[in-house]
Structures are given as C-alpha cells and as structure tokens.
Structure 1
Amino acid sequence: MLIRKLFKFENAHIVRGCSTRRCSHSIHGHSYKVELLLQADALDHGQMVYDFGLLKGDVRELIDAFDHAVAIWSQDDPDYIASIRRHSERWVLIPVSPSAEQFSRLIFRLVEAALENTEMKSGESGVQLHSVIVHETETGYAQCFREDVVNPRMGLIDLDLIEFSPAITAQWTDPKLYERVKSKPTMIQTELEGLCS
C-alpha cells in the first residue's frame, strides 16, 4: 500500500548547463511541492501504513531547510558561491545541480536517512520510501525511485557533501539534527559504498 504526504517550500537556484538561458544564467525561484510516497505491506497498531505525525519532526525540518533559501551547486563558480554565502542568510550547498531531477534524488536521500533514524512506536513494519516527486512548476515535476538514487550515471549524492547555512541549522529543534541523521547507515548508503569500492 502507498500513502502520500505533501510538503511545500520556496527556493531559488541557477541550473547551469541547461538549454534555457533564463534558467542557466539567472538566479530565479520556484514554489516547490514535494510528495513523499511511503509503502508497506502491513499496517501499524492504528491501522495505518505510517502515522503522518512521525513526519513532523526530522523529515519536515530537513525539507523546510530549503524554504526561502538558495540551493547552490558545489561545482558552480567559486565567486558565485562566495557571493551567495555572503549575501544570503539561508543557503544549502549541495553536490549536484539543483534541478528538479536532482532535488528529487537529494530529498530521497535526506528523507530516507531521517526515516531510518525515526523511532517506530506503533508497530510500524517494513515501511520504505517508495518515491519522491518534486514539482518545480504547476506543469512539471521529477519523480525519483530508489534505483535512481544509486545510479552513478546521475551522480552520487554523499550526505557529507551537503552543507546547511548556520541560519538554517540554528532554527532546527535539534541543532545537531543533520549530524544525527547522517550517523546511522542507510540501505542506500550501503549500496553506494558498494558501488564506490
């Protein structure tokens, strides 16, 4: 069975290398909608796949970190990166270009790590992140499945290469949230390490 939870955030970026000059040469923003689809073959004590209340902690805070922030590709021009870091209080440095496709992969990695670190309290069993859909506009979205996250042809997403600005981490309920979430190995991380060895 699948269930879906919707999140929203506003974010700005530049997508270098894309064919549309407006997108590749001008900072611009989008009103993103992120759909998390969770799956399980059993229900918990409340007869649910997964209590949406469990997504109000780490998962919500990690997705909200992108709200009113600038997503910066770590391979972009160093002067541009330095300027954004200097002039914007909220930014996230990421190891892939901030396209909708890469956002879906990145959010999959972050959410999967957060879910692996969530204490199950109501008999949840076999709950997995099925896919992540990132709507960049009203008419376009990207959907990421587990196999997309570990596809080296799409670029590897190492959680250690994601950096949240101090203004973002200061607003988290737990300032050590990201360190805690990264600390527990995930299924994807194990697969990625196998690809790299």
Structure 2
Amino acid sequence: MLIRKLFRFENTHRVRGCSTRRCSHSIHGHSYKTELLLEAHALDNGQMVYDFGLLKNNVRDLIDAFDHAVSLWSGDDPDYLATMRKHSERWILLPVSPSAEQLSRILFRLVDTLLRHTAMANGEADVQLHSVIVHETESGYAQCFREDACNPRMGLIELSDIAFSATITRSWQDIELFENLKQYDRIFLRQSRNHDPEKKILMTRNISKTCTES
C-alpha cells in the first residue's frame, strides 16, 4: 500500500546547461510541491502505513530547508556561488544542478536516510520511501524512485557533499539533524562498498500513538 504526504516550498535557482537560455542564465524561482510516497505491506498498531503526524518533525524540517532559499550547484561559477552565499541567509549547496529531477533525487536521499535510521515504535513493519515527486510547475514534475537516487549515471549524491546555511540549520528542532544523517550515510556507503550487511543505527524520536491527520 502507498500513502502520500504533500509539502510546499518556494525556492530559487538557475540550471546551467539546460536548453532554455532564460533558465540557464537567469536566477528564477518556483512554487514547488513535493510529494513523499511511503510504502508498506503491513499496517502499524493504528492500522496505518505510517502516521502522517510523524512527518511533521524532522522530515518537514528537511523539506522546509528549501523554502525561501536559493539552491546552488557546487560546480557553478565560483564568483556566482560566493555572491549568492554572501547576499542570502538561506542557501543550500548541492553536488548536482538544482533541476526538478535532481531536487527529487536530493530529497529522496535525505528523507530515505532519515527514515532508515528512525526507530519505529508503534508496530510499523516494512515501511519505506517509495518515491519522491517534485512539481516545479503546475504542468511539470519529476519523480525519483530508489534506483534513480543511487544511479551514478545521474550523478552520485553523498550527503557529505551537501551544505545548508547556518540560518537554515538553526531553525530546525534538532540542530544536529544533518550532522547525524551525514554520519549514518558515511557508514552506509562504507559498508556498501565493502559488501558488508547494513548495520542499523537508530535515531531516537518520540513516536506518538495518537492518530494525527495532516
């Protein structure tokens, strides 16, 4: 079974190398809609795949980080990057260009890492992130599945290559959230390269048994 949670944020970027000049050479913004689709083949103690209320904490903080922020590609012109970081308190530096396709991959990696290392305390079974949809416009969106998130032909994404401005991280409920995620990701990647079984490291979080709708 699939469930869906919708988030919204305003973000600005420029997408180097794209076919449309106004998109590749001019800073512009979008009113994004992001859908998280979670999948499970069993239900928890509340007969739910996953309580929507649980997505209002760390998951929402990760997605809200992109709101009223500028998304930057680390491979862009150094002068442009320095200027944008100087004149904007809210910025995110990414290892890939901030197209809708790559934003869906970035968000998949962030949310998936968080969910994989979250202690499930209400009978949640095999719940996992199925896909992430990023609507850049009313008529256009990109959808990232698990095989896309780790596809080297689309560009490798390691969380250690992502940077959030201090203004963004200070607004989170857990200011160590991203540092913990980067640590989990480094261990996961190291074990994957060594072909070792993945070792679960649980991020503790209070999980309410109250059925809270979005």
- Same-fold call, TM cutoff 0.5: yes
Is 1:25 matched up with 2:25? yes
Q: 1:131 corresponds to which residue?
A: 131
Q: 2:117 corresponds to which residue?
A: 117
Report the 3-state secondary structure (helix = DSSP H, G, I; strand = E; otherwise coil) of the residue aligned with 1:66.
Answer: coil
**1:74 is aligned with what amino acid?**
S
Take 1:187 and 1:138, find their aligned partners in 2: how far apart are those partners? 39
Q: 1:103 corresponds to which residue?
A: 103
Q: 1:178 corresponds to which residue?
A: 178
Gap change, CA 1:68 and 1:52, over 3 Å in 2: same
Q: Give the alignment of 1:183-194 within 5 angstroms.
A: 183-185=183-185, 189=189, 193=193
**2:33 is aligned with what amino acid?**
K
1:37-72: CA deviation from partner (whole Å, max 9, x where unpaired): 000000000000001111111110000000000000
Q: 1:151 corresponds to which residue?
A: 151
Gap change, CA 1:188 and 1:99, over 3 Å in 2: farther
Take 1:128 and 1:9, find their aligned partners in 2: how far apart are those partners? 23
| Alignment length (residue pairs) | 195
Structure 1 residues 176-185 or 106-115, which shifts more? 176-185
Take 1:125 and 1:187, find their aligned partners in 2: how far apart are those partners? 23
Take 2:47 and 2:186, find their aligned partners in 1: how far apart are those partners? 26
**2:64 is aligned with what amino acid?**
D
Q: Give the alignment of 1:68-87 within 5 angstroms.
A: 68-87=68-87
Q: Which runs of 5+ in 2 are unaligned?
A: 196-214
Take 1:191 and 1:27, find their aligned partners in 2: how far apart are those partners? 39
Gap change, CA 1:42 and 1:188, over 3 Å in 2: farther
Matched-pair contact (CA < 8 Å) for 1:113–1:186: no
Matched-pair contact (CA < 8 Å) for 1:73–1:98: yes
Take 1:154 and 1:8, find their aligned partners in 2: how far apart are those partners? 25
Shift of 1:186: 8.7
Q: 2:15 corresponds to which residue?
A: 15
What is the percent sequence identity of the aligned residues?
68
Structure 1 residues 184-193 or 78-87, which shifts more? 184-193
Shift of 1:181: 2.1
Take 2:187 and 2:141, find their aligned partners in 1: how far apart are those partners? 25
Shift of 1:116: 1.8
Matched-pair contact (CA < 8 Å) for 1:150–1:192: no
Is 1:63 matched up with 2:66? no
Q: Which runs of 5+ in 1 are unaligned?
A: none
RMSD (Å) for aligned C-alpha atoms? 1.8
